Structure 1
Amino acid sequence: MTPFYEIAVGIVLVVGSIFSLIATIGLLRLKDVYMRMHAGSKAGTLGSGLMLIALAVHAGEVDVLTRALAGVVFFLLTAPVAAHLLAKAAYQAGYQPCSDTHIDEMADEPK
């Protein structure tokens, strides 16, 4: 592996871990379940996807590359859907958005 690839893998790993750290901080610091879910699903998906891509480039093998890309696609397809369904279930269970939420579009919908 050339030094260029090693540096690129290192940069992608660091950026992915920064996004994962941001997701973790968001889970700890944000006010309600909806904001926390947004931080966890968006930044967590991006961070784990970047780290899987770095793994695929570092391994340099076709089977590892295909599995890593399948993992990234799986994350991108399932995380937003899961976050949406969890948010809808939390709202129907009675968890109200915090006072910083200015528009509540689900308030008028029938349950």
Structure 2
Amino acid sequence: MNLDELLAIAILLLGCFFFLAGTVGLLRFPDTLSRLHALTKADNLGLGLICLGLAIHDATLAGIVLLLFIWMMAVLSSTLSAFLIARRHHARKEYPEAGHD
């Protein structure tokens, strides 16, 4: 194994760690907005690191551009879906009146 392969494996494992952290946040956090934050932040970073590791392993311009495109589409779709879930949560949630904890 050369240095590029070891670096790619290390970055891929780090990306998998962030996916695992996002999943743990989804399962452990108490409310919708906290779960949504943990999942979108960790998964976007995890996918970015996995795409970076694959780009280091592939090392062709076409492959790197395709991985960048895949990552950008995932970031855009997760942003949009998180916005829609948060908006729906906000519209349906009943907030207590001031002073009535």
| Superposition TM-score, scaled by structure 2 size | 0.82
Q: Secondary structure at the match of 2:15?
A: helix
Superimposed CA distance per residue, residues 54-97 of structure 1 (whole angstroms, 9 cap, x where no aligned partner): 1121112222111101122223333233312311111102276x
Structure 1 residue aligned with 2:40: 41
RMSD (CA atoms): 2.0
Structure 1 residue aligned with 2:10: 11
Runs of 4+ with >4 A deviation: none
Contact 1:24 1:40 in 2 (8 A): yes
Structure 2 residue aligned with 1:72: 71
Q: Return the alpha-carbon distance in structure 2 between the equivalents of residues 34 and 14 of structure 1.
A: 27
Q: Secondary structure at the match of 2:38?
A: helix
Q: Secondary structure at the match of 1:31?
A: coil
Q: Return the alpha-carbon distance in structure 1 between the equivalents of residues 42 and 94 of structure 2.
A: 23
Structure 2: tracts of 5 or more residues without a match: none
Aligned length: 96
Structure 1 residue aligned with 2:89: 90
Structure 1: tracts of 5 or more residues without a match: 97-106
Larger RCO (CA under 8 A, 6+ residues apart): 2
